[in-house]
Structure 1
Amino acid sequence: MSHPEAETRAFRELRAGVLFEGKYRIMRPLGEGSFATVVHARHEVMDRDVALKFLRPEVMAAHPEVAERFITEVRVASRLKDPHTVAIFDFGTTSDSIPYMVLEYVDGRTLDEVIEARGALGKRRSMECCLQILASLEEAHAHHVIHRDLKPANLMVGRTARGGWTVKVLDFGVAKLVERAGETIQTSSGRQSTQFIGTPRYMSPEQILGQKVSASSDLYSLGLIFFEMCTGRACIAETSVAKVARFHLAEEPLPLHGIEELPEALQAIIHRATARHPQARYASAREFREELEAILQGRARGGSSYPSLPQTPALKSEPSEASADVFSGKGYVPLPEDSESEASSAAQRTPSGNMRRTTGMRRTTGVRGISSASSTPPPQRTVSQSGSLSVGELDLDLHSVARQQHQLAARQTPSVDDLRQSQDRAASHAHWRLTLASSLGLVLVAALSFALVSAAATPLGGATRAVVGVLPFLLAFLWVAFSNTLHFPDVTRRWLLPWLRRTSAASAVGLVVIGLVFPAAAAAALRNEALWFLGEQVSGAPLFLRLTIGSLAGALAGLYELMAGLIPWA
């Protein structure tokens, strides 16, 4: 439920000429969506143009927790420094606790406005723009930031000082924020409307099903945008939510009218980027960028990995009762109570000559991850044309999407018993690995302790040094037997680990005592008789054993010699 008074107070400050926060002079409104309002302002001190973006009061009213998430997302998005990402300079809250952020101002138009005005941008310019978008996505994905709502309306096109085109990506933080804010929004009538988080025309299949999104989800959206830049045609001409969802979710390749007019190399890129399953798409924005750069620089592979794309007869698309605005990136989803007149008037707002709003489509077969070995073209993805379908006859409307999400979650969520068994198996494996490591470690430490301590104790006599050598091991055992480890039920934590640690400690104490009593004699014994316990079998001992004990004995002898020079009684 919105609060008109709060809205009035909050947006009274956004009138042209008003000085906001004592430093931002409001110039003019830039845009208004379902959850945010953007105005052009100028920083009075720095003399710099900025864009101020405010969350709408009704969004705050419907989701009180949104302010905290807003701050979190701004912190994430503010890490992005790529020149093709619209920078975030600052954020704060108004006197009415409405969050806002200060963004870089781009003097230009959104990509959807550019395509509507110009049509196709041309292959080279489309590739150059796509490379700039990929540079922004590459940095964002490296910071584990997924846009989730990439569309032409979120891409600003401006001019460089030399007259070239520059593209900047908008709304990294807000797109993530909106997805977290939930899937229902309270309307002014008090009803809750199921709503896609994102723009359905450009959403990846996993987003529609509510599955986990990844970098490949953004690349799917970019593949559709790249197609629109190259051809000037809408990637999907359907305008109803249900049909667009079915279009994305079908297993058959995605048909894109007019793609056959592009070079095969570009067709292959678009089909790979828009593959149905994430694992069939580009693994990263960098891989996408490198392949596009190779084509732009004339280094494309001699043979495309995709077969030629045969055409199929033209199919006529049905008119839809839903507004086209939601699919062109206007951030609005028609509610069930919206009148047919409102929907039709929204559709009529589109210029008749606009190729992106075309409803008649000639379908072409697309290839989604098909290898060159396949000689038979894949089946055509089509939307049923059997006449007007009612909501009940559709396989996939908004409610069935929600049901599929619940069913998928039920299939993927293991039972309590399964989780317990999995945890038990993991714990058992970890326990046996720890037991094996502890046992081997105890044997190794005991052997080294005996060798070094007994060799250092050689001045005490032949028989005595053997007793001194095993003394740390025996004392450590008694220490463990009377320690507070009795409460552990398993042998590893009750005996092996404590015995290992305390054998090491007792050996270190014994070596220090020997070094304090007769360091010079102990040093000589360590250099000459470190392997005394092997007797005449020294030459037959493993090389690893001789090198390990010899190197440790030599280091300890050097320490004893140093002590001998410092201790007066040595």
Structure 2
Amino acid sequence: MSSQDPNIGRDLLGGQFQILQKIGSGGMGSVYKAAQPEMNRMVAVKILHKKLVNRKDLMSRFRREARAMSHLTHPNTVKVLLYGELDDGSLYIVMEYLEGRNLNQVVRKEGPMSVDRAIPILIQVCGALQEAHLQGIVHRDLKPENIFLSTNGGLKDFPKVLDFGLAKVTERELRPGSIMLTQEGMVFGTPEFMSPEQAQGKVLDARSDIYSLATILYEMLTGKLPFDAKSPMEYIQLHVNKTPIPLDERVPGKVFPPGLGAAIAKALEKKPEDRYASAAEFAEALKPFAPAAVKDLAVMMPTSADLVIAQAAKGQAAAMEADKLASPQASVVAPKKEEAAPEPPVPVAREVARRDSRRRRTTPVVLILVAAGCLIAGVLLTIAALKLFGS
């Protein structure tokens, strides 16, 4: 494979990044493991397929994906370090390199998780989604393959939310005059985890992600989905028309804590208005079922004020990163300063860019736009940022 891929061995930004091997490929691009010698670390580089360079719509989607991801700074979201354009016109994104396994791989190999293991993972994922939702970004394709588990900060399972490639900026966040990349009536995502409104091609908000996340939790705990179906179309029909099999009835002989099934069932309601209003609210509903030692994970939920602080901090870090990487001898077009993202606090894990071929298939779509940050006084910025990231 390496000998056939012209990107293997390629230097980016005048040698700042050296591509070593391909680790996955999708409809829009390939993901590579690359070295960043100056930082003595590995990174993941996603490059849009060269054959798509002339597709302005796809190039726009790729840019929007990168821009949306670069604005997400929660520790449980995969970090975007940099993005820009190569000299041949291809676009690239540099992300943190992840080592570990995704939820699908873990559940398939080890079987259903215990409540004590699954709930802390979900609470942390809720934190990542809460940040995205506050910025008007809906993931739209949450599934076990897009939640990656690693070890970080002494935790056994440190989840990272991947692939905001289907992320959609909600209508209220769109800039005047911009054109939506998806419209009502268009269906994208993974049928097994779609909310009823997504299956019907309706306009989505954060509550659609909450439904998908509850479906993931259901599978983590039981090893099964809330419905029995034989085809993607049947899953879509069941999500829209049928009540999920109660958690307590899904695995004969398995007993769950009282109230857990009801908490998940609320997130799986057919009507969005009957579900939790936010990811933070879902996390609070799950908190009573978490082990005592990790119940404080719910405090990782960002607020609107936290996001203003984080955006200002990210803007300062972006300027420094872009200045460091810019070079007259660069082999690519150096990205603008606002297109650089801050370095992650710890290089952790490996991005799995390709899902298990035996299971669900996804229709890729990228929809992205994010609100800009504000400047804040130095002392106030430091205090608030420390509070947000727990530094």
TM-score (norm 1): 0.46
Asked whether 1:213 is paired with 2:244, we answer no
Give the aligned partner of residue 287 of structure 1: 281
Which runs of 5 or more residues in structure 2 are unaligned?
170-178, 293-354, 365-391
Q: Does 1:296 align with 2:257?
A: no
Q: Deviations over 1:49-76 (max 9, x none)?
A: 2111123345555x42222333234223
Cα distance change, pair 149–180 in 1 and its aligned pair in 2 (3 A): farther
Give the match for residue 198 of structure 1.
189
Match of 2:245 in 1: 255
Contact 1:126 1:229 in 2 (8 A): yes
- Give the deviation of 1:215 after TM superposition: 0.5
Question: In terms of mean alpha carbon deviation, does 148-157 or 287-296 score higher?
Answer: 287-296
- Is the counterpart of residue 23 in structure 1 residue 54 in structure 2? no
- Displacement after TM superposition at 1:326 (Å): 7.9
How many angstroms apart in 1 are the aligned matches of 2:264 and 2:236? Answer: 19
1:441 equivalent in structure 2: none
**Structure 2 match to 1:54:** 47
Structure 1 residue identity aligned to 2:62: F
Structure possessing the higher radius of gyration over alpha carbons: 1
288 and 273 in structure 1: CA distance in 2 versus 1, 3 angstrom threshold: same
Cα distance between partner residues in 1 of 2:272 and 2:204? 9
Residue 224 (str. 1) matches residue 215 (str. 2): yes
Corresponding residue of 1:37 = 30
Shift of 1:237: 4.2
Aligned twin of 1:165: 157
Contact 2:227 2:244 in 1 (8 A): no
Residue 150 of structure 1, aligned match among 142, 150, 168: 142
* Corresponding position of 1:439: none
* Alpha-carbon shift at residue 117 of structure 1 (Å): 1.0
Q: Aligned AA for 1:242? A: M
Could you tell me how far 1:292 is from its partner in structure 2?
0.9
Deviation of 1:138 (Å): 0.9
In structure 1, what is the equivalent of residue 258 of structure 2?
264
- TM-score computed with the length of structure 2 as normaliser: 0.66
| Contact 2:115 2:289 (8 Å CA) reproduced | no
Counterparts of 1:8-157 in structure 2, within 5 Å, are 12-15=5-8, 17-21=9-13, 22-57=15-50, 63-157=55-149
Counterpart in 1 of 2:175?
none
Name the CA shift for 1:85/1:151 in 2 (closer, same or farther; >3 Å).
same
Whether contact under 8 Å (1:88, 1:104) holds in the other structure is: yes
Structure-2 separation of matches of 1:239 and 1:29:
33
Comparing 197-206 and 21-30, the one that deviates more = 21-30
SS of corresponding position for 1:52: strand
Change beyond 3 A, Cα 1:158–1:297:
closer
Could you report, residue by residue, the CA deviation over 1:117-168 in whole angstroms, capped at 9, with x for unpaired residues?
A: 1111211110011011001011111111111111111111111253521000
Distance 1:246 1:156 in 2: 29
Q: Percent identity?
A: 32
Q: What does residue range 304-319 of structure 1 map to in structure 2 within 5 Å?
A: none
The answer to whether the Cα contact below 8 Å between 1:110 and 1:157 also exists between their aligned partners in 2 is yes
More helix by percentage: 1
Are the counterparts in 2 of residues 76 and 173 from structure 1 also a CA contact under 8 Å?
no
Report the Cα offset of residue 92 of structure 1: 1.3
**What corresponds to 1:536 in structure 2?**
none
Which of 234, 237, 259 matches 1:246?
Answer: 237
Specify which of 272, 281, 290 is matched with residue 278 of structure 1: 272
| Residue matched to 2:351 | none
User: Are 1:134 and 1:285, in contact at CA under 8 Å, matched by a contact in 2?
Assistant: yes
2:20·2:34 contact (CA, 8 Å) conserved in 1?
yes
Question: Does the 8 Å contact 1:13/1:20 carry over to 2?
Answer: no
Alignment of 1:436-451 (within 5 A): none
In 1: Cα distance, 2:166 partner to 2:29 partner? 9
Q: Aligned equivalents of 1:196 and 1:59: distance in 2?
A: 23
Give unmatched runs, 5+ long, in structure 1: 1-7, 184-193, 299-323, 334-570
Partners of 1:86 and 1:138 in 2: how far apart? 15
Q: Are the equivalent residues in 1 in contact too, given 2:130–2:279 (CA < 8 A)? A: yes
Distance 2:190 2:51 in 1: 20
Do the aligned partners of 2:118 and 2:217 also contact (CA within 8 Å) in 1? Answer: yes
CA deviations 1:156-205 (Å, max 9, x no partner) are 1111253521000012255439x96569xxxxxxxxxx994111111111
Count of matched residue positions in the alignment of Structure 1 and Structure 2: 286
